[in-house]
Amino acid sequence: MDSSNLSLNRWLIIFFVATALSPSTNVLGNCFNSIFNFGDSLSDTGNLFNNCNSNKPPKSCFTPYGDTFFRHPTGRFSDGRLIIDFIAQSLGLPLLQPYLGVETQRMSVAEFEKGLNFAVAGATALDASYLREKAFVEVPTNYSLSVQLEWFKKAYSLACPSSSSTRCTKILKKSLFVVGEIGGNDYNYPFFKQHSFEEIKSLVPVVVKSIGSAITELIQLGAQSLIVPGNLPIGCCPKYLKIYSTSIQDSKNGCLDWLNQFSEYHNKHLQEELNRIRSQHPNVQIIYADYHNSAMQFYNHPENFGLANTLEACLVDKNETLKKDGNYGLRSKAKTKTKTKKECDDPSKYVSWDGVHLTEAAYRLIANAILQGPYTHPKFTTSCIMSHNLPTNLLQLQ
């Protein structure tokens, strides 16, 4: 072997040793075997779907919900996939099964290892009783974060009756826990009733503390890797725009700045809480997902993302007229025979699906920004995604 080859081999050895010993910037470097998700309608993959036979079935039980990707309703409040679906696909994992759709009384270790989704549309971070007593708002369901956490503990105890089980300990270590988005409904309910701004703002520290308590409990149970999303920019939501149409809008993007600043206020407090938890659990990976700024990309420059409409809803409710009235795609109440009506020809050109929830196209863009862009703190790379031979850009996922 000549001297040049010896030098090259020596350099390669030094390089690989240095790489192995250096701190990794990829906090999601280990691939995951399962996902456990907690949240509301932004990530509910079918838990509220179990109410389809009730007297008041949710809108997600009917077409055109789910039409774009699944070709039928699945309980998702969108025309297709959600952010949690894109995260699962990017990691080479199956789409998350809803907890209420699983036979929990016979929960096996193998079933538990597939992961579970505890998110329920309409869920709040705070218990419904608290919001009723302190915020004077009526919450239609009580699937709060504490309830979802109890579901997780029940499923875990059934699958793993012995907490010292080596297999169960490994499951938690090799699982990704997604806590949120949650908290949005704690503010939506009073905002939609036009409660005072200061009253709603006072809820933020309590909501954030509730999220922090759930994260801490999950860590105590064995969670090692968590993603915690912040709230979306509600000032760009068509329903908010309709309710607060007399407010001054941002002339650049048409959104209501004061409402977006409220979302940022929540997100600031949430990040401070995550920093506090990190200091107490330095060996746990806690990643903040910046949904707000990842979404503001396409609200500010929709043309860069192939979007044509950012502030109107694609879908019209059953109690809405067909005549446009300038209220951001939302109509005045009138009796019709159908549950919903899709007014836009191409949902992929729209951000808002039904005035509150987003289209698959918008969720895909946020997921892409989170998994491959600069919108996570700390930032992570795509080595786990690439190891599954999946597209490194979620825009390629069909």
Span 269-285, pLDDT tens digits: 999 999 999 999 999 99
* Residue (of 269, 92, 268, 122) closest to 184 by Cα position: 122
Q: For residue 205, is the peptide bond before it cis, meaning its omega torsion is within 30 degrees of 0?
A: no
pLDDT in tens, 203-216: 999 999 999 999 99
Indicate the pLDDT class of residue 395, thresholds 50, 70 and 90: low
Contact indicator for 224, 286 with CB cutoff of 8 Å: no
Q: Look at residue 2 and tell me if it is in a domain.
A: no
354 assigned to active site: yes
Q: Look at residue 21 and tell me if it is in a domain.
A: no
Split into its structural domains, the chain has a count of: 1
Question: What are the φ and ψ backbone dihedral angles of 226, each rounded to 5 degrees?
Answer: -135, 140
Of residues 116 and 329, more confidence is placed in 116
Q: Look at residue 4 and tell me if it is in a domain.
A: no
Contact indicator for 176, 227 with CB cutoff of 8 Å: yes
Q: Which residue is catalytic, options 266, 269, 292, 357?
A: 357
Contact indicator for 221, 172 with CB cutoff of 8 Å: yes
Q: Look at residue 113 and tell me if it is in a domain.
A: yes
pLDDT in tens, 19-65: 333 333 344 445 899 999 999 999 999 999 888 888 889 999 999 99
* Residue (of 295, 288, 156) closest to 230 by Cα position: 288
Cross-strand pairs, 313 = 352
Question: What are the φ and ψ backbone dihedral angles of 40, each rounded to 5 degrees?
Answer: -125, -150
Q: Which residue is catalytic, options 34, 40, 41, 144?
A: 41
44 assigned to active site: no
Q: What is the CATH number of the domain that holds 336?
A: 3.40.50
Task: Supply the range of the domain harboring residue 180.
Answer: 34-396
Report helix, strand and coil shares of the chain as percent, to nearest 5: 45, 10, 45
Q: Which residue is catalytic, options 40, 44, 79, 354?
A: 354
Contact indicator for 87, 101 with CB cutoff of 8 Å: no
pLDDT in tens, 218-271: 999 999 999 999 999 999 999 999 999 888 878 789 999 999 999 999 999 999
pLDDT at 319 (0 to 100): 56
pTM score, whole prediction: 0.86
Q: Look at residue 3 and tell me if it is in a domain.
A: no
Q: Look at residue 6 and tell me if it is in a domain.
A: no
357 assigned to active site: yes
Q: Look at residue 215 and tell me if it is in a domain.
A: yes
Q: Look at residue 14 and tell me if it is in a domain.
A: no
